[in-house]
């Protein structure tokens, strides 16, 4: 299993990535713009149905106040401020509000940002402020916290990786079962690439347009999609098998870059999570090998 004996720094890195991503989202959203959209567009989901959404969204000072609170709390979390659990829990509530408010205007709840949302929930109950923090006394705490071979820091990293791998697996399984063979054989991917290249995007890459003119692309693109789908479906294996994890990363990391270049779709938060959670995790094997190796007796 990955992340046995993970360090406080690795968990700190997850904290920085997760709350850093939320900081980017919070600070690049114009909540005043959302306040001016027609309230008829609001379709709250889940727990948000219980809130007076229209009244909150219709009040720009409240919205801006919540956004500023979210930004300040995210910065505190990014730095690893203490007391960690209440600060992280309040930040996660502010983040959940922000994400839910934006998604209420979409008319449907997509899975973008769900992985970092789940990660922030998991970080609330973790000793996530022990590593990668400017406060010296926080760093010193960790020395007596993790006895060798324990999962003090690794359990949150493993749990986040577990949820993320299950989510990837769900996408792959759904595409294989609901889409079936036709998804990979009827040229759908070519039409998706053409549409996503041509429609509005903040990224504006037009590589897809050029690629669609290449010979053999009608075979290569669906084949690549099938390979990525199979890797996605098998994602939970990456938690346990090192060889598969390397193969999986070799497929999924370029896949995330290719969806940006070909379709202007970029799950940069998931890409960062893949790097933090699955690249060179300490699985405890090296430490175990050292312990198992017979000590050479002094001559």
Partner 1 sequence: MAAEATAPHRWTWLPRVWGGVAVVLLGGWLAVQFGLVADSRAYLFTWLAESWVLLGVAIWLLRRVRAQAFGSRLQRLVVAALLIAVFLGQLSPLRGTFYPFTHWSMYTSPAAEVEYARFLLVSDGEVVEELDISALSLLASNRAILARLHVLLRATDDGDEQAENDLEASLRTISRFHDGTDFDTIEGQRCSVTGDRPVRTTCRTVLEVSA
Contacts (CB under 8 A) with partner 1, residues 213-252: 213, 218, 236, 239-240
Max intra-chain CA distance, the chain:
84
Per rule CB under 8 A, is residue 154 in the interface with partner 1? yes
Alpha-carbon distance of 273 to 42, in angstroms, equals: 30
Residues 106-145 that bind partner 1 (CB under 8 A): 106-114, 117-118, 121-122, 125-126
**C-alpha to C-alpha distances, 23 to 75, 78, 121, 193, 295, nearest whole angstrom:** 7, 9, 16, 30, 50
Residues 168-197 that bind partner 1 (CB under 8 A): 168-171, 173-175, 177-183, 186-192, 194-196
Alpha-carbon distance of 214 to 218, in angstroms, equals: 9
3-class secondary-structure state, position 289: helix
Alpha-carbon distance of 250 to 96, in angstroms, equals: 32
Q: Given the structure tokens 């005043």, which residue do they identify?
A: 32
Residues 261-280 that bind partner 1 (CB under 8 A): 265, 268
Q: Which is nearer to partner 1, 167 or 275 (CB)?
A: 167
Q: Which is nearer to partner 1, 58 or 236 (CB)?
A: 236
Per rule CB under 8 A, is residue 99 in the interface with partner 1? yes
Q: Which is nearer to partner 1, 90 or 183 (CB)?
A: 183
Q: Which is nearer to partner 1, 181 or 297 (CB)?
A: 181
Minimum separation from the CB atom of position 52 to partner 1 (A): 17
What sign does the CA torsion over 83, 84, 90, 91 have? positive
Per rule CB under 8 A, is residue 290 in the interface with partner 1? no
Per rule CB under 8 A, is residue 90 in the interface with partner 1? no
Per rule CB under 8 A, is residue 46 in the interface with partner 1? yes
Per rule CB under 8 A, is residue 76 in the interface with partner 1? no
Q: Cβ atoms within 10 A of the Cβ of 35, count?
A: 18
Residues 21-40 that bind partner 1 (CB under 8 A): 24-25, 28-30, 33-34, 36-38, 40
Contact in structure between 63 and 57 (CB atoms under 8 Å): yes
Alpha-carbon distance of 290 to 282, in angstroms, equals: 14
| Among positions 162, 211, 238, 272, the unique one binding partner 1 when judged by CB under 8 A | 162
């Amino acid at each position: 299993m990955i992340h046995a004996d993970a360090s406080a720094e690795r968990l700190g890195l997850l904290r920085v990535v997760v709350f850093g991503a939320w900081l980017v989202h919070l600070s690049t959203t114009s909540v005043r713009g959302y306040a001016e959209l027609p309230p008829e567009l609001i379709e709250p989901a889940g727990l948000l149905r219980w809130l007076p959404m229209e009244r909150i969204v219709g009040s720009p000072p409240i919205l801006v106040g919540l956004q500023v609170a979210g930004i300040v709390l995210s910065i505190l979390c990014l730095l690893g401020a203490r007391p960690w659990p209440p600060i992280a829990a309040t930040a996660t509530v502010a983040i959940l509000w922000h994400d839910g408010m934006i998604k209420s205007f979409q008319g449907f709840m997509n899975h973008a940002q769900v992985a970092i949302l789940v990660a922030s929930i998991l970080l609330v109950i973790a000793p996530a402020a022990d590593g990668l923090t400017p406060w010296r006394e926080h760093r010193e705490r960790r020395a007596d916290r993790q006895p060798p071979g324990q999962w003090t820091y690794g359990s949150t990293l493993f749990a986040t990786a577990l949820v993320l791998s299950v989510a990837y697996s769900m996408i792959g399984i759904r595409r294989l079962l609901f889409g079936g063979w036709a998804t990979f054989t009827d040229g759908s991917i070519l039409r998706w690439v053409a549409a996503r290249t041509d429609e509005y995007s903040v990224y504006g890459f037009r590589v897809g347009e050029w690629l669609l003119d290449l010979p053999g692309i009608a075979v290569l693109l669906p084949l690549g999609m099938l390979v990525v789908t199979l890797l996605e479906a098998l994602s939970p294996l990456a938690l346990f098998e090192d060889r598969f994890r390397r193969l999986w990363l070799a497929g999924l990391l370029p896949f995330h870059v290719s969806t940006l270049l070909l379709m202007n779709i970029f799950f940069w938060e998931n890409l960062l999570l893949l790097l933090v959670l699955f690249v060179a995790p300490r699985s405890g094997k090296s430490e175990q090998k050292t312990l198992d190796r017979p000590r050479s007796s002094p001559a």
